[in-house]
A and B are shown apart, each in its own frame.
Chain A
Amino acid sequence: MDGDSSTTDASQLGISGEFVTSGQYVFQSQDDDGEENLNDHDDGGIKENFREQDIYLPIANVARIMKNAVPQTGKIAKDAKECVQECVSEFISFITSEASERCHQEKRKTINGEDILFAMSTLGFDMYVEPLKLYLQKFREAMKGEKGIAGVPGGDGLGDELTDDNFTNPLPAGIITADGQQQNVMVYTTAYQQIPTVQQIQFS
C-alpha cells in the first residue's frame, strides 16, 4: 500500500533547512482525515475544531437502521433522523461513562465486555444483554473459523488502532486490545491428532 509518503527532501516538505536534523527525517503527510465529516457526508465536512460533544454517527447509517425497523411503507421525518443521531451519541456516552466508572472502582484501566454488559443492565437496557452475548459469541466464532482458513491478514492496521476493516478480516492472535493486553484467544489447529495406536506401540 502506498501509504508511506515519507521524504527527506526538505524542499518537498515545504520547510526550511533548519528544521531538518542531520539524521533521517520522516514526514507523514497522510493525515487522518477520518476526523472530518464526522456527522454526515452531506454537509461537505465540518470545521477542524469540532466540539467533542458533537460527534455523531453518520446519519445515513442511522437512518437505514431506522428504516429497516419500522414497517416497510413508513416514513421518517428528517428531524426525527437527526434527533436519533444525537440520541445515539447520548446513549453511547451514557453506557460508556457507567462502564468506565465501574472499571475505575475495580482499579482497572481497560473497559471490557463485561463492564459494558453490566452498565446496560444497570441503566435499564437489560433486554439487550442476552442478544448481545449471542452476537458476541457468533462474532468470535466467525472470526475463529475464518482465521483457520485464511490465516493472517494483511499488515495494514496491525499495531494500529482497530479500524472497521479489522472486524471483517481475521485478526491475528496477538493483537486484540488497543493497550496490548492479550485476551483469551484459542488458536485451533488440526495438526495434532491423538492416534491411540502410536501410544500403544510406545508401551509395548
Chain B
Amino acid sequence: MKMSQNTPDKEDQSSTNKKTISLPISRVRLIMKSSPDVSSINQDALFLTTKATELFVQHLAVASFNNGPGKATNSLSYTDLANTAEEMETFHFLTDILPKKILARDYLQSLEQMQDGNDDDPDF
C-alpha cells in the first residue's frame, strides 16, 4: 500500500490518490514561494501543484526507463534521464540541469581529435 504523509488512523478513511498526497505540501509551498514575485497561493493551486509534481515524477521516471538502454538492464540511470530530457520536448526545460556526463578520457580523446583536425588551420 502506498505510504502517505497521513497519520495512521486516517488511512482507512481514504483510498490512496483520492485525497492523500505522498509529497509534503509545506515543502512544495516553500519552493513555490521562492519564485520571484509570488505573493500568495490558494489552496487549490497548492494541491494541484503537489499532485502535478507526483505525476511529473512518474512521467519522467517511466519515460526515462523506457527510453534508455536501461530498459534492457531493468535499471534507471542518470544517463537515461539526461537523454530523455534532450529527446523529449516536454522535458527540454531540464536540459540545463541535466548535462550529459562524459568520461574524462572520452573528453580528452575528442579534444585530441579536434586538435588533429585543425592542424592545417592556424587560426584555431
A residues at B contact (CB < 8 Å) = 34, 38, 52-53, 55-58, 61-62, 64-66, 68-71, 73-77, 79-80, 83-84, 86-97, 99-100, 104, 109-113, 115-117, 120, 123-125, 128, 131-132, 135-136, 138-139, 142-143, 146, 161-164, 167-168, 171, 176-179, 181, 183
Contacts and interface: CB of A to CB of B under 8 A. Distances in A.
A82 to B, nearest CB: 9
Main secondary structure of the interface of B (DSSP, over half): helix
Contact of B49 (A86, A95, A142, A143): A95
A203 to B, nearest CB: 45
Contacts of A88: 53, 56-57
Given A113-B44, A136-B51, 19 more contacts: A61-B22, A66-B61, A69-B65, A76-B76, A80-B78, A80-B80, A87-B60, A87-B98, A88-B56, A90-B93, A92-B32, A93-B31, A93-B35, A96-B32, A96-B49, A128-B55, A177-B42, A179-B42, A183-B42
A132 B38 CA distance: 22
- The list of the 7 closest CB pairs from A to B, nearest first, reads A113-B44, A75-B75, A69-B58, A179-B40, A52-B34, A142-B19, A177-B42
Given A100-B35, A142-B19, A57 B40 contact: no
A179 to B, nearest CB: 4
Interface string B1-42: 011011100100110011111111111111110111111111
B77 interface: yes
B111 interface: no
Interface residues of B, number: 66
Main secondary structure of the interface of A (DSSP, over half): helix
B114 interface: no
B2 A68 contact: yes
A132 B55 contact: yes
B48 interface: yes
A1 B47 CA distance: 27
B42 A176 contact: yes
B53 A57 contact: yes
Contacts of B19: 138-139, 142-143, 167-168
30 contacts: A57-B31, A64-B22, A66-B57, A68-B58, A70-B62, A70-B76, A76-B76, A77-B75, A80-B76, A80-B78, A80-B81, A83-B98, A97-B36, A110-B39, A110-B41, A111-B40, A113-B42, A116-B44, A120-B52, A125-B52, A128-B55, A136-B48, A139-B47, A146-B13, A164-B24, A164-B26, A168-B10, A168-B14, A177-B42, A183-B43
